Structure 1
């Protein structure tokens, strides 16, 4: 049922876009905050980009159907044996600054069909506390993708196994409790 999951779909769309510009870089989903052990494991596959979904920011006027933007954090890590080369790049390996410029240029303002438009919300250098390799350079780029409705279409949900109905119970302004049942196959 991965095709029903809007988070996985946005993640995959961002990764597909990045692979065009970073074809030799390792990419994978990562937690928003990496442990030192996770980070050390990933450093064996540099250069890499970790993609973390950090949340969903709803629009103020969403109503009953949630609309808003997905927020993702992209962590870039690379190694370069030259102390200056880790930032500017050289004949040995890519540098952090050119990688930042490429990633920002590839994503800012790009529309992912069905998901919304990408906006860079922050780009910054970073570090891994406790990791002492001086050839490593790290960067964080935070993006927003939207606006998008955070739900699957009812037609797709109707095809999901064992999905019979959507039931919502809520209180009205006068204190009455209302239950709304939407059976699949009916509007």
Structure 2
């Protein structure tokens, strides 16, 4: 199975490259994060402020896809900013000009209509302020920016052509109509 041209695999680095146009690595941490973080995960990233997390949140296939899967990949930026001075500095910026408001405005401007090379275009679908359940720190503010990226992915790109290609996947299937598999799972062994 060939994953070199798989959509998610190719979108993430392109999204990071796009964000790096305005969020340089020496100041901003950008990492892949889960859509919903545990307190322990959030505790770690809160120390990396200013922080931008990139989460894949799903896929919305086009009903008319046919043999070429097309649709929208759903992504989310989780923006975390910590200011040690005033309440207003968290939003409007500190002595370096950094603040949550600017980080949201800039990320939205970077993503809206952006071309993800070789894949499609991004569209911002939502931006809002959020809280981390169970977390309390007066100096931290959090926001999320949701966006989608249009894509098309010919299934042929995976190069699954022969029975041997599928057998090599080692997938376990539950087959309820098969009497032998009704109480058990059928396992297709992986090639060695």
Task: Give TM-score, length-normalised by structure 2.
Answer: 0.77
Superposition pairs of residues 89-100 of structure 1, within 5 angstroms: 89-91=93-95, 94-100=98-104
Q: Which residue of 2 aligns with 1:48?
A: 51
- 1:15-46 Cα deviation digits (max 9, x unpaired): 11101110121111111111111000111111
Q: Which residue of 2 aligns with 1:174?
A: none
Aligned partners of 1:152, 1:48: CA distance in 2, in Å? 37
CA contact (8 A) 1:36 1:131 kept: yes
Unaligned runs of 5+ residues in structure 1 are 168-187
Q: CA deviation at 1:92?
A: 5.3
- 1:99-157 Cα deviation digits (max 9, x unpaired): 11100111100111111100000000111122111110101000100132264626xx3
Q: Which residue of 2 aligns with 1:177?
A: none
Higher-strand-fraction structure: 1
CA contact (8 A) 1:6 1:151 kept: no
CA contact (8 A) 1:68 1:149 kept: no
Q: CA deviation at 1:164?
A: 4.8
2:149 equivalent to 1:145: yes
Q: 1:18 aligns to what SS in structure 2? A: helix
Task: Classify 1:102/1:65 alpha carbon distance in 2 versus 1 (closer, same or farther; 3 Å).
Answer: same
Superposition pairs of residues 1-187 of structure 1, within 5 angstroms: 3-23=4-24, 24-81=27-84, 82-91=86-95, 94-149=98-153, 151=155, 153=157, 157=159, 164-165=164-165
Unaligned runs of 5+ residues in structure 2 are 168-192
Task: Give TM-score, length-normalised by structure 1.
Answer: 0.79
Aligned partners of 1:14, 1:101: CA distance in 2, in Å? 16
Q: Which residue of 2 aligns with 1:178?
A: none
Aligned CA-pair RMSD = 2.2
